[in-house]
Amino acid sequence: MRSAARALVVVLCCATQTGVALAEAEEAETEDVPVAGASADASDDELTADEEIDALLGPSITEATVVTANRTEQSILDAPVSVSVVDEQTIETSAADNIGDLVRGVPGVNIVQVSARDINFSTRSPGTSLAGGGLALVDGRSIYQDFFGLVMWDLVPADLSELEQVEVVRGPGSAMWGANALTGVVHLRTKSPRDMAGGLAAVGGGELGTKSAKLRWAQAWERFSFKLAGAYLEQRPWERSNNFSNGDPIPMTFEFENEGTKQPKIDLRLDFDARKGRRWSYRAGWAQTTGLLYTGIGPFAIADGSEATYADARLETKRHEVKFYVNTIDGDATNLLIGTDFFFDSKTWVGEITGRRAVGQRHALVYGGTGRLVKFDLSLAPGEDERVEFGAFVEDSIAIGKKSQLNIGLRLDHFDTIGLTVSPRSSFLYRIREWMTLRVALNRAFRAPSLINNYLQTAVPNLYTLPNGNDFFYGSLAEGGPDLEEERVDALELGLTGVVGNSLVSVAVYRNETGSQIDFAEEQYYSDESPPTFWNPDIPVPECLLVQRFQYRNVPSGKVIDEGFELGVQSDWGR
C-alpha cells in the first residue's frame, strides 16, 4: 500500500504537468463544453414514459459505441476490425461472478478456467491454461503481467458491477495497443463516479463455499466526483482428478491438491470536470489473491499476502488523452511439484499519449506514443532486472465518397530485448445500407517474450520409466532464451456487421497465420559422454531420453494457421 501511495504522488505530478501543457495549447481553439452532469438550458417539456425509460437504461446494444478498435469513440458499425460488446444491461442481468463467465458467449473467444482464480482467454485460437497472446485493458490501462506473460484477472480491483461495458476485439490489436495483443483485446470500461452516484452493499454465497461481499459509495457535485469501493470473494478448491485422461494414476511425485482462493480488493477514483471539455481523473487500487497459478514449469500455489497495486492519473480533452500509471505486483508462490519457492516483485511504469485530429474533410488521424519501464526482481530469473519499451502509432481514416472508408495504420515498437517491431493494419469498410457494413481487414500483431521466457533459470522434475517398469524421477535444468524473437501473426478478415430490428448481427471469416512461436522444448540430453551424477556408470545412458536441459526457443520452422467462421447475434428482447 505504501508503494502505491508513493507511486500515485509521482504519477499525479507527471500527469498534471503534461496535461496542463496540452490543455493550455487547446484552450484557445476549444469551445466551452457543458460540464458532465451539469444542467443545460433545457426546455420545460416533459419527457415521455419511453424517453424516461431510455434515459435510465442508456443505449441499447444496437446503439453501441466502442473505443478499443482505434482509440476513438465510434459506432460499432464503423469499427475497422471486428468488435463485440457486452453492454451494461447484460452485465447487470448476468449471473457471472468473474470476467471469464461474462465474455464466454462472445463469438471466437475461448475461456479456460482451471481453478477458482485461474482464468485464461484467447481469441480465434485454441484455449490453453497459460494463454499469453491476449491483451487485457481496464480503461486503457494494460493489466498484462510481463513477468510471466499472462493476465491475472483476480487482481483487477474493479468489481463487475462497476463496468459500463466490455469490448472484445476479435483479432490482432497491436497496431493500436502494441505488444501482446496477438490474438485479441479484452477491454473493461468502468463507469464514472457520476454514473454510479449513491451507495451499494451486497453479499452473496453459492456452491464450493463461495462467499462474496461488495460495498461502494459514489458522490458527484457540479464538477467534482469520487468513488470508493471494496469487494471480497472466497471459494473452496475445485475438484480435480489425479489420473491421466486414460484413467492411469498420476505418479505420486506429480500429485497435488487444488487450492481455493481469497480475493479482497479496494478501488478509488477521483474526477474533476474542468471547463473547456477537460476531465482530470486520478485512480488507485489494491488487490490480493491466493490460489493456484498454472504455468509451463508446473503449478504454483500463490501465498497469502501476494498483492497488486496500481496508481493512474490522466487528462482527457476533446483532442488528447494523456495518462501516466504504474502497476506493481509483489508476492510469493511455491511450485507444487518440486517445492521451489518463487519470489516475484515487478513494477511497470507507463506514460502514454493519444491524439485525434481531423485533416480536411476526409481524413481523421489517431496518433500517439507509449513509453514503458519494467523493473523486476524474480527469483526464477536472476539474470536481469529491467526492460525498456517504446512505441508510436498513427492511423488515418479516409472517407471515400459517402459509403466507403479506408483505414491505414502503422505502429512501431522497440524493446531492448527484441529490437524494433512493425505492426501495420489496413481495412476497407463499405456501408451497404445505413444499418449494415461490410469490412475487409489485413492486420499484423506480436507478442513480446515474457521476462520468464527470456531469463528463466531453475530446475523442473522429470519422469523416466525404467525397463523393469519402475518410475525413475530426476531433475532437469530449465532456462530462458535471451535472444528470443517476438511471436507474430498475420491476419486476414472478411466481416459483416448489421443492425436488424433490436439485434446486432455480426458475421466474419478469418485466417490467422502465426510464426516464430515461443516453445519450451528439450535442448540437451544426458549421454554416456555426459551422464547424470546419479546414474550407475555400469548402465548405458539411454540416448535422447533423459533431458538434461529445457530452454525457451522460437519454433525453428513452420507456422500455425487458424481459420474459422463466426456468427454472433445480440438482441434486446425488451426495454
Query: How far lies 241's CA from each of 184, 238, 255, 257, 460, in Å?
Result: 32, 10, 9, 9, 22
The answer on pLDDT for 424 being more than 90 is yes
In 3-state terms the chain splits into helix, strand, coil percentages (rounded to 5) of: 15, 50, 35
**270: Cα separation from own chain's centroid:** 24
The answer on pLDDT for 26 being more than 80 is no
Q: How far apart are CA 171 and CA 511, in angstroms?
A: 10
- Given a contact cutoff of 8 angstroms between Cβ atoms, the answer to whether 310 and 323 are in contact is no
Mean pLDDT of 223-232: 96
Q: How far apart are CA 171 and CA 198, in angstroms?
A: 38
* pLDDT at position 368: 97
Helix (H, G, I), strand (E, B) or coil at 172: coil
In this predicted structure, which of 21-30, 79-88, 118-127, 427-436 has the lowest mean pLDDT? 21-30
The answer on pLDDT for 83 being more than 70 is yes
The model's confidence at residue 567, banded by pLDDT at 50, 70 and 90, is very high
The answer on pLDDT for 409 being more than 70 is yes
* pLDDT at position 510: 96
Residue 43 vs residue 197, higher pLDDT = 197
* pLDDT at position 13: 53
In this predicted structure, which of 169-183, 233-247, 260-274 has the lowest mean pLDDT? 233-247
Helix (H, G, I), strand (E, B) or coil at 196: helix
The answer on pLDDT for 561 being more than 50 is yes
The answer on pLDDT for 570 being more than 60 is yes
Q: How far apart are CA 441 and CA 407, in angstroms?
A: 9
* pLDDT at position 414: 97
Average pLDDT, the chain: 86
β-pair type (184-190, 163-169): antiparallel
CA dihedral 354, 158, 133, 334 (to 10 degrees): 130
Candidate ranges 51-55, 85-89, 131-135, 313-317; pick with highest mean pLDDT: 313-317
The answer on pLDDT for 563 being more than 70 is yes
- Given a contact cutoff of 8 angstroms between Cβ atoms, the answer to whether 430 and 437 are in contact is yes
Mean pLDDT of 322-337: 93
The answer on pLDDT for 4 being more than 80 is no
Mean pLDDT of 385-401: 95
pLDDT tens digits for range 248-302: 777 776 778 888 999 999 999 999 998 878 999 999 999 999 999 888 788 899 9
The answer on pLDDT for 405 being more than 70 is yes
Q: Which percentage of the chain shows pLDDT scores above 90? A: 55
- Given a contact cutoff of 8 angstroms between Cβ atoms, the answer to whether 56 and 89 are in contact is no
* pLDDT at position 254: 73
In this predicted structure, which of 130-134, 180-184, 284-288, 329-333 has the lowest mean pLDDT? 130-134
The answer on pLDDT for 350 being more than 80 is yes
The answer on pLDDT for 575 being more than 80 is no
Which residue, among 3, 7, 16, has the nearest Cα to 314 in the 3D structure? 16
In this predicted structure, which of 127-131, 139-143, 360-364, 564-568 has the lowest mean pLDDT? 127-131
pLDDT tens digits for range 502-560: 889 999 999 999 999 998 888 999 888 888 877 778 888 888 888 999 999 998 877 89
The answer on pLDDT for 8 being more than 70 is no
Mean pLDDT of 122-141: 86
The answer on pLDDT for 56 being more than 70 is no
Q: How far apart are CA 351 and CA 19, in angstroms?
A: 12
pLDDT tens digits for range 436-488: 999 999 999 999 999 999 999 988 878 777 777 677 778 889 999 999 999 99
The answer on pLDDT for 117 being more than 90 is no
Q: How far apart are CA 154 and CA 117, in angstroms?
A: 6
